[in-house]
Every structure is written in C-alpha cells, then in structure tokens.
Structure 1
Amino acid sequence: MQTILSSIETNRQNLGKLVLVTGDFNILHPGHIRLLRFAKECGNTLVVGVNADELLTQTDYNDATHRSDIVASLAFVDYCFINYDSATTVIEKLKPHVVVKGKEYEDKFNPEQKAIETFGGKLIFSSGYTHVKSSSVFNRQTEQPVLNVSKLSNYMSRHHINKVDIERVMANFSKLNILVIGDTIIDEYMQCNAVGMSQEDPTIVVTPDEKKLFLGGAGITSAHAKGLGAKNVSFYTVLGEDKAAIYGYEKMREYQLKARTFVDDTRPTTKKRRYRVGNKTLLRVNDFREHDIGIDIQEAIMTQLAEEISQTDLVIFSDFNYGILPQPLVDGIIGLCHKHSVMVAADSQTSSQVGDISRFKNVDLITPTEREIRVALNNTRDGLVVLADKLHQKMQCPNIIVTLADEGALLHRTEKSEVHHWNNDKIPALASNPIDPAGAGDCMLAATAMALVSGGDLWLSALIGSVAAACQVSRVGNTPLEFKELMQALEQLT
C-alpha cells in the first residue's frame, strides 16, 4: 500500500525480514514486475521506494503520485512510498535485510553496498524470473459466471418453475438455523509455472509461483450455508493441534460460523495440497489420518448437539471418510433429528478414499456421484435409474441427486411409502467456463438442502443447487458463495 517513509520507520520492528527496492518505475513494464516479485520472495515484507520527480533525470515521465499508485497496486508490494532521499539514506533509516537491484547494475558502482553491509544486510542483483510468469489465477475470475441458460428452458417448463417460485423459496434462507457436521480440510493451492521436462528422467519440472489456503471439506459447506443467508450455522468438527487447525479457527471466525470444535491430538488436521499449472491440477498430496475418533469425543459431540437440535431446521452430514463420523455417531444424530422433525441431508465422498453413502439411512437428501452409488451397492452393471432406485430401497431416502460432473445431474424422487414408483429428470451442467471443479459438490449440497427445507420441491431445489455449483466452478479455490452472487446468477434464467 502507498504510505510515507516515516510511518514505515515507526513500524519497522514488526515487519520481519524487510526487502527494499528503489527506482523510478517510469512506465511500469514486465521487467519491473518480475524484479519486484523476485524481491518479495527474498523476505517477509517488500518495501518499494518510488523516486520523487526531483530525483529523475528524464524529462518524459509520469509524476511520482501516478507512478507510486501503480506500484502500490501490485499484490506482492507491502509498502510503497515516494522517495525524496538517496538510496543510502533510506537504507540507514529502514535497515533492510536485503536490497534488490536490477542485474544491469551488477558491474557498476553501487553506494548501497557499503551502507547495507554495515549492519549485515545483503545486496542482490537480479532480473527477476527468466521464465514467463503466469498471471494470478486466483484473481482471474469473472464477477458473475456465464450460465448455459438455453439448456434449462424445457426443464423449467416441465416443472412450472418461474422467478416468483425461486424468490419465494430463497426468501426463507434467512430464517434457517443449520447444523453441519464433518471433516475440516485445509486446501492449499500451489500455483506453478511449467519449466519443461527433466533430462534425467521423465518428470515434469515446475517452479512455484503463488500459494493460497482455503477452508475446505465440511468447513466450506458450512461457509456456503452462512454465505447464502442462513440465520445461524453451527459447525461440528474435529481438529488436530497444529498450524492447519489455527488457520481453520481463523476462517471459521471470518465466515461467522458457530464453531463446535473438538480436539483429537492423535490426528493432524486434514490438509490437501494441489500443484497446478494454469487451470490444470498436476498433483494432489493428502496429509491425513483415517482412524475413528474416540468414544469420548463422540459422546461430547452428541451431548453438545442434543442441546441445540430443537432449535435446528436442517442438519447436513459432510463426510470425507477420515474417521470423523463413525457409524454409531451417525445413527445417533439421525435418530435425534427424526425425534425433533429436523430435515437431514448427507454427502459421503469416495474419491481417493472409500466411503459408503448408504450408511446414512433415512435421511431426506443425498448427492452422491455415480461412482459413490456403485461402490455403495457393489454394482457395476445397472443403469443410473435402476441404481438410484436400489439405493433408495437400501436407504429410504426420497430425494437423490446423482452428480455427473460435466454431464450435470440425474434427479430421482420417490415417495417414502412407495417402491418402484419414482420420477426422474436430468439437469445439465450450467457453467460456460468451468475453472476449478473442487468444491462444486459442497456448494450444491448446501444450496439444494437449504432450498428443500425452505419449501422447494426436488426440481426447484436442484435448480438452485445447480446454479450455485456453476458459480463455484467458475473460480479457483473454495470461497463461500454469497446470497447476492447466487441471485445475480439466477437472474440469467428469467
């Protein structure tokens, strides 16, 4: 951010390993950006001094305010000030650990060398990166996703869905008290640049560019529910005693969740690291334990949950099969929900791990993938409709949404009292430009369940959930979907 030198001096002791760059920055170009990005990675805090007009020798230049505003707008610049002093004077005032200058100055006289060596600092010469850096994919997102609305005209006509119906259901979101229980996952995205292929072995070589953390798993399901306007969201989860847990606590506070956290020191907080180049994930590394939580923690969860279940409208199980939801705990919670007439939705993931969605018997809504149904039924032969019916018979779940990635979703509705009497439909994938599929299922589960408990039927609720999923896949990383964003996207349907 743009500031003045004296304020940086005052705060110097809190800035850690400080890196200093000074220069004219007359017409900011890619070489400047590469140099500053390199400088940022040399320490904790990057301070840039943009030389005042009086210090410039060129007559053709932008004024100092304009030049410093542009430099200050760069995400990796922590502080930017207009510099009226010599570089040595600034060094004496700030005592940086590192001063970075362009490679072209390496063979010239550099007065900064002596100044910084007096207190053990280093002068580094660099041209920044020799390979092309990609622009940040985290910021490369449209404000509003573009939906393939033409695919929905027949669907909406079949089920007599209109704008009034959608607004009526979503108006009830603000009245909901929701309880989410499941795994907290910390998602780390390491955005990289592809360098090439190793000559020693057939290995893709990348260099790290940007790193960003997100709250994932059941945590983001909770955050979606709160972002979509729920009155209260209680989030029940189990964390380890580690830095990932501290980050999880911070995000829960930021997302205004009522954190009902329980600590298990025998397991780390689950963390997933994705290495990406452009919009493609090259590798994912999971750090987790999958043994069941102890009986003591299960009993503590049930005790806490029993105290607030009577004030709850919807319970969502967000199960990633890392041991947070043992079967006795699941059965106890579902029984408690039935006793208090609370709607229940569930998702149980089977991707890199093995889960069983069918163990959530007698819930009101499930959103499995095709593979998750086939694993639960040990059935590789039957078609989707038959699979959905067999899963209903096993679970007695009236609302089943089979998510099919870019093929959309199959909707299967059965009356609880009837067998082999069902209604099916398909809703297409709606995102015109999907960027990151991670988190789409969590978003669809939260939005669909909220619509269902707010008075929508399966067809209208699945439509709202599908639009929410389209919004989610149109950006990188799990961030909560806001009510306003969803409403703006739904406006495209009418």
Structure 2
Amino acid sequence: MNKQVLVQGNFDILHPGHIRLLRFAKECGDKLIVAVNSDKSMGLKSRVNEQHRLEMVQSLECVNEAFLSDLTPAETVKSLKPHIVVKGKEFESRHNPEHALVEMYGGKLIFGSGEFESNSEQYITRTISHGHNFDYKKCQSYATRHQFDYQSINTVFSQFSENRVAVIGEIIVDEYIQGTAVGLSQEDPTIVMTPDRTDTFLGGAAITAGHIKGLGANQVTLFSVLGKDDKADYVKNHINAYNIDTILFDDGSRPTPLKSRYRAGNKTLLRVNQVRQHKISKEIQTDLYLQLESSINNFDLLVFSDFNYGLLPQTLVDKVIALCKENNVRVVADSQTSSQVGDIARYKDMMLITPTEKEVRVALNNIDDGLPILAQKLCEKANPMSLVITLAGEGIFIHLPDQNGQWENDMLPAINRNAVDPAGAGDCFLAASSLALCSGATPWQAFYIASIAAACQVDTLGNQPLSFNTLQQRVLESFKNI
C-alpha cells in the first residue's frame, strides 16, 4: 500500500525552507501530494499569482502531485484522507484543526523542519535543454572534409527503425548519492558529507540497449546475467521502461554489479564498486549461447558491452562471433578497462571497436607510441573495420585501416566542453555509431552523429536513454551553427 503524504501551504516565494520541508515530507511516505492555496483562499494577497506558485511546486522532484485548492487544510484532509499530514515545526505549538480528523481515521500529523546543510537547488527539476554548452566550431571542416550534409545524415536517420539489435553484457546499477560536503574530519583528513538524496539508474549493457531503442531501433534484446539480490529485483522492475526485450539469467554466486557515486555539488568525491569478476559458470554460458543461437536470425547487429566482470569469457565470445559470422550479423564491441582490467584486442574482426586510449595501451602493453601508430597496431592485432579511440574531454580519434596496410585518420574534439556527468559517454557513442553504421552511414557520418549523441549524454546526471528527437534536433542545430 502506498502511503500518501499531504502538505498544504501558500508557497508565496519558494525558498529553501519550503524545499527542505517537502523533501522531509516525501521521506515520510511514498507519494507526496501538495495542495497550493489559491489566491482567493489566502488571507493576504500574494505577490505571486496562483498559477506560478503551483508551477514552482510542480517543478520539484520530490513532489508527485500538486493542485490549487480553495479548501482549508482541515477540509483538504477530510477530502483526501492522506496517511500522513506534514506541517512545519512552527505549527507544533499552535492549534491544528486537521489533527483530530487525521487521528479519526488512523493517520498521523507530523511536524518537520528543514536541514540547513541541504543544497536546495538540486531538488528542482529542470527541463533538459541539451546543447546549451555545445561547441560546433570544428564540425564544419569535418563535414566538408568528408562531404556530407544534414540531408545525407537525415537519410541515415530514416533507416534507424529498420534495425534489430542484440546487446550482450553486464547490467550495472548506478547509484548517485548527492549530498553536502560539511568539512574535514577532525580525526583524519577525510571529507565529511551529509547525504541528501539517492538517484538510481540502469547502466552498463542496459543503458547501451536503452540508447539504441531510444534512438529508434525496431527491436532490441538484452542478454545478461544478474545476481539473486535486491539490485536484481530493481533491474527487473525498471528495465521495462526501456521498451526492450530481455533474456536474463540468475547467478547466485555473484552480486548484481552496483556502482555508488558520492557527489557534492557537481563533483564526484568517491565511487564504490560492489562487483565480482569471476567467470559465469559453463552451464550459464551454454544456456546464454543457446538462447542467442535460437534467435540469431532476428538480429542485424550484435553489440558486446563488456565491463569485464566475468559475463563474457573468451570461449563464449569466440562462439558468439562465429555464430554472427555464419548468420551475417554485424558485430561491434566495447571492453572496459577502468578499475577492472579488460582486453579490447580479444574482440576480433569487429565492424567497430571504441576503446579509450588507456584501453588501447593496456591491450598492447604500449606506453610509447603516438595515437596513429598505436591505432594501427591494435588494428593489426584485432582486425576491426573501424576503430575509434575515445579521449574523454579531448574528443575522439578515428582510424580506418584498409587491406593494404594503409589507413585514414581524423579527429573530432569534444562537442560538450562542460560535461555535467562524463559517465556513460562511451556507451552512448557506441550505441549511436553502431546503429548509424547499420543504417547506411559512412564511418565519418556515423562518428559525427555519435559524437553529438555522447555530448547529449554527458549533459545530464546519470544514465538515461537518449531520444531520437533530441539527437536529431542537435544534429540539425550543428549544421545551422556551421
């Protein structure tokens, strides 16, 4: 049963005290309902009209529902019968007519005060406006060099919906614990923070699949393995929002990967990974392969989204690649080396691989060579059709080899120079570029599209599937600005 919490007030000028009280109220139950007193019901004329006061309250993330009310607080309680009514601490010593009504049906009246440490602005929901910090200055020369315009890109977009995609890899639950840094510990030089709220997202292979579906692919199926824990339940309860099909296996020997980021302001102070990296059992490998084999004719593209937590042992990878070759399914791969160690070179004969510079150097055990030589050596080892080395805030380095030992290189700088959250940029780049390649784009067009997609991704906190409309608008904007 969902506990409904009611707060009623004027909200004349929405200030931090209001926001802290409403956040406290939301924590008291499951659904926060706010009754905003209408102009005519207020004793004093408000400086802000009722519609604007309502919209400000509705903009808060903690508020589930808000409406204008002509009723007194007691009449509102009698009408809605909420489980909990929350009022400010200043009302505790006053007469509260709704108190008896609440107790009559078994509800509670709670008095709460705000916590001064909270950063109130972070609780305001803002309309996502991708592109505000985008810099398209280098896009014109790139598009001119490779002889494409918006019309040709739009032709690629029109084919997105023709693709059927399989994604295989680890699902990661991403937690963002947002708080306020209150100072340094007196015992040791440790930052002390007070957590204010936690946002949870589906990451890893799940967000790669979510991006591909959000960008318009006809069908997306995600193959993965989960632990037997509450995070697995979270995944199963929320993955349907991505509108993808799932084939999920349970493995009680490992937890569902969880990454918790502790943030203050716009900075991450600490990331805690709860993962295990041992290989999935041979039985699960066999079951996963058989499921993929039985449906391989339903796919045009397979994406390896490998975070190197044991879901993709080499024997399984080799069998899947061979299966795709036999059935003319194109394959792309990304293999992370971050806190864990991966090897992008083990993914042979891909249509595209998208490692970071660190991942290339680890795969080759090479800290000396420059990017062009480094890229060619990886191509000689792994034989991809296209290689993109992602360089975080510096953009991307593109390397296209041919069969004669020659190659072409180019580079696109980072389009978003003020990233809100750089996590997930690579997943979004891989999703957009592979979908574009399968839709008839040249590599140059695909990586242009994907660079803008990644710029959109890092413009918001946490992983959320990128929509086709957002990407199309930003690409169109890029041509208008150049």
1:479 aligned partner: 464
2:86 maps to 1:100 = yes
Contact 2:59 2:125 in 1 (8 A): no
Contact 1:145 1:432 in 2 (8 A): no
What is the root-mean-square deviation of aligned Cα atoms in Å? Answer: 2.8
Q: 1:192 aligns with which of 176, 179, 187?
A: 179
SS of 1:490's partner is helix
**Cα deviation code 1:357-400 (max 9, x no counterpart):** 11111222100011101111111112211111111111112311
Q: 1:131 aligns with which of 117, 131, 150?
A: 117
1:86–1:162 distance in 2 versus 1, CA, 3 Å = closer
1:433 aligned partner: 418
1:137–1:390 distance in 2 versus 1, CA, 3 Å = farther
- AA partner of residue 257 (structure 1): I
1:287 aligned partner: 274
CA distance in 2, matches of 1:465, 1:143: 18
1:49–1:344 distance in 2 versus 1, CA, 3 Å = closer
SS of 1:389's partner is helix
What does 1:213-232 align with in structure 2 at a 5 Å threshold? 213-232=200-219
1:234 aligned partner: 221
**Alpha-carbon shift at residue 354 of structure 1 (Å):** 0.6
CA distance in 1, matches of 2:186, 2:33: 39
**Alpha-carbon shift at residue 482 of structure 1 (Å):** 1.5
**Alpha-carbon shift at residue 278 of structure 1 (Å):** 2.3
2:172 maps to 1:177 = no
SS of 1:135's partner is helix
SS of 1:190's partner is strand
1:407–1:65 distance in 2 versus 1, CA, 3 Å = closer
1:261–1:138 distance in 2 versus 1, CA, 3 Å = farther
Contact 1:137 1:476 in 2 (8 A): no
**Cα deviation code 1:40-77 (max 9, x no counterpart):** 22333334444567764435677777755654553323
1:63–1:233 distance in 2 versus 1, CA, 3 Å = closer
1:412 aligned partner: 399
Contact 1:136 1:210 in 2 (8 A): no
CA distance in 2, matches of 1:455, 1:28: 51
2:344 aligned partner: 357
**Alpha-carbon shift at residue 152 of structure 1 (Å):** 1.9
CA distance in 2, matches of 1:299, 1:489: 43
**Alpha-carbon shift at residue 30 of structure 1 (Å):** 3.5
Contact 2:19 2:120 in 1 (8 A): no
2:195 maps to 1:212 = no
1:432–1:32 distance in 2 versus 1, CA, 3 Å = same
SS of 1:149's partner is coil
**Cα deviation code 1:123-180 (max 9, x no counterpart):** 5444412235242378446423143211122222222122232122222211111111
1:137–1:292 distance in 2 versus 1, CA, 3 Å = farther
1:100–1:397 distance in 2 versus 1, CA, 3 Å = same
Q: Structure 1: which 5+ residue stretches go unaligned?
A: 1-13
What does 1:17-36 align with in structure 2 at a 5 Å threshold? 18-36=4-22
**Alpha-carbon shift at residue 308 of structure 1 (Å):** 2.3
CA distance in 2, matches of 1:467, 1:302: 34
1:408–1:137 distance in 2 versus 1, CA, 3 Å = farther
TM-score by length of 2: 0.90
Q: Structure 2: which 5+ residue stretches go unaligned?
A: none
What does 1:63-462 align with in structure 2 at a 5 Å threshold? 70-80=56-66, 87=73, 98-110=84-96, 124-136=110-122, 139-140=125-126, 142-146=128-132, 147-415=134-402, 417-419=403-405, 421-462=406-447
Contact 2:39 2:46 in 1 (8 A): no
SS of 1:429's partner is coil
Contact 1:25 1:50 in 2 (8 A): yes
- AA partner of residue 319 (structure 2): G
Aligned pairs, number: 478
1:401–1:101 distance in 2 versus 1, CA, 3 Å = same
SS of 2:28's partner is coil
Contact 2:16 2:120 in 1 (8 A): no
**Alpha-carbon shift at residue 223 of structure 1 (Å):** 1.0
1:6 aligned partner: none
CA distance in 1, matches of 2:339, 2:287: 29
The percent of aligned pairs where both chains have the same amino acid is 49
CA distance in 2, matches of 1:488, 1:192: 34
**Cα deviation code 1:13-62 (max 9, x no counterpart):** x332x444344444444332332222222333334444567764435677
Give the stretch that moved more between structures: 160-169 or 345-354.
Answer: 160-169
**Alpha-carbon shift at residue 493 of structure 1 (Å):** 2.9
CA distance in 2, matches of 1:467, 1:459: 13
1:257–1:78 distance in 2 versus 1, CA, 3 Å = closer
